[in-house]
Amino acid sequence: MSTSVQSPLQELLATALLPGQVPSAAGAGEMSRAAAPAHLFLAVTSIPVGNNPVGLAIAPSSDLYVANSGSANVSAINTTTDTVIGGPIGVGGTPVWLTVAPNGNAYVPNSGSNTVSVIDTTTNTVIGAPIAVGNQPAVVAAVPGGRVYVTNFAANTVTVIDTTTNTVVGAPIAVGAQPVGIAVAPNGNAYVTNRGSNTVTVINTATNTVIGAPIPVGAQPNFVAIAPNGNAYVANIGSNTVTVINTISNTVVGAPIAVGNQPWGIAVGADGMAYTSNRAANNVTVFDTATNTVVGAPIPVGAGPIAVTVAPNNKVYVSNINGNNVSVIQFDPTLTSIVPNQGPIAGGTMVTITGTNLTGASVDVGGNPATGVTVNATGTQLTFVTPPGAAGPADVTVTTPGGSATLVGGFTYLLPVHATTLTATPALSKLFPPHVYFPFLTATLTDQATGLPVPGQTIVFSVGGNLMGTAVTDAQGVARFNETVILVYILANGGYDASFAGATTPTAILSPSSAHAGVVEP
């Protein structure tokens, strides 16, 4: 293998070691997982695609499109299920770093046929004839206003395509040597990485003219991504670093960020976390663009990771050119809120949890599986229906392919409140002279919700507001209290009162109830 910088005639996808670089320690198809720390989850899925996959792009549907350079086609992947959708879509020769424009069409640069193929991502069919561009088109980037920009690796130019008509607009824009990556900043300027001249060219996409002098970066800059903070991050294959460019001043910010061996690809998620695909190390480096510092140890992936992208659900997808597959990195879920956080023991409560990395989740409440689990497209909210459970607080555990998280006591099961009816029977007595025909006062307690008698509950008997005593309901819900001793009080007050103060049982909260009964002479 050559130890010099690639010439324009060398293949766009070939690797070249520079002094100080080392080849991959693992052969094609091998991975070393020893370096991964416990708090970072590994690539949890490997999705087979076509031969020598390179570019990755996300469509408005959240489906992932993969350009297979060795089989001249594009695979589509459902990022919710991580399964391939339909058959491969045939395109031109050696398709590489594609993009999806705002109109939903995918633009695929075919470096082997000097064209760009257009795919309708709603039907996964090719639209029209390939669009002729420059020599060895490498990367396509979309800009607002209905245009895409194509870097031509062997022509040292950028071609502009109108996505409304799918025709080339104007003459090619001259940039540096061997342009590969291109990304558009919020200010509308496009940043082009010139692998052969170790610079970045800035293009004003409003006028399609170059702005200022090229910006020096690291050795063999290959790809560029724009972070939420507006800075451009340039992955330098030859120096194993990432250069940060302030897109307002077009100046380099701070020292380069050291990453893995031969970082070919870079992507930044909506949360500001950046990922480099380190082709010679078979891993991915993670760093925080808020601090420009590396987070944790590299994450092992497949053989020859060459491109990386972040889906709306925060899964990270890595194309492995030597492994003919795409690795999926899904981090452990985080849980921030649960609404509502209580409901009946019978279950059936619709609950919403917010958090991150929730795609593919299942939910347990108190150890019992929830039903009806759905997750939104960004993996930040899920809903489910609670199963039946025991009264009291229950842990809520969310499990995804990336790990699990628990809200301790996150949901409280509540007993239902049942109204009760207390029925008191009149005292059977003769008034003159006083005489008891039946020696017991009786009160019957009934659960109005079930219509069943309530056993084992204390009933208070009183006369004229004075406590006479208590009795406990039997299996028929009847409490009996001897009236012989208190007959005189009952007669003097024209009857007696029975009351139930309410209680909590294993199945319900029973509401208080009371009743008054008079005196009846048979």
Low-confidence ranges of the chain (pLDDT < 70): 1-11, 15-44, 429-437, 522
Q: How far apart are CA 405 and CA 38, in angstroms?
A: 15
Q: What is the dihedral of CA 362, 366, 369, 371, to 10 degrees?
A: -90
Q: Which residue, among 448, 501, 451, 506, has the nearest Cα to 479 in the 3D structure?
A: 501
Tell me the C-alpha distance between 476 and 515, whole Å.
18
Q: How far is CA 433 from CA 119, 429, 520, 521, in A?
A: 105, 10, 14, 12
| SS3 of 27-57 | CCCCCCCCCCCCCCCCEEEEEECCCCEEEEE
Question: What's the number of CA atoms in the CB half-sphere (13 Å) around residue 374?
Answer: 8
Among positive and negative, which fits the CA dihedral 296, 297, 301, 306?
Answer: positive
**Using CA atoms, how far apart are residues 513 and 421, in angstroms rounded to an integer?**
6
* SS3 at position 489: helix
Model pLDDT for residues 245-301, shown as the tens digit of each residue? 999 999 999 999 999 999 999 999 999 999 999 999 999 999 999 999 999 999 999
Neighbours of 357 (CB within 10 A): 24
Determine contact, residues 330/82, Cβ cutoff 8 Å: no
pLDDT of residue 14: 78
- In the chain the first and final C-alpha atoms are separated, in Å, by 116
Place of tokens 């690795």: 327
pLDDT for res 145? 83
Residues with Cβ within 8 Å of 395's Cβ and at least 6 positions away in sequence, in order, are 364, 365, 366, 367, 406, 407, 408, 409, 410
| pLDDT at res. 483 | 84
Q: Which residues make beta-bridge pairs with 150?
A: 140, 159
Between CA 474 and CA 486 the distance in angstroms is: 22
Neighbours of 418 (CB within 10 A): 18
Instruction: Assess contact for 138 and 121: CB atoms under 8 A.
Output: no
What does the DSSP assignment read for 425-476? PPEEEETTTTEESSSEEEEEEEETTT--B--S-EEEEEETTEEEEEEE--TT
Q: What is the reported pTM?
A: 0.81
What's the per-residue H, E or C state across 102-126?
CCCEEEEEECCCCEEEEEECCCCEE
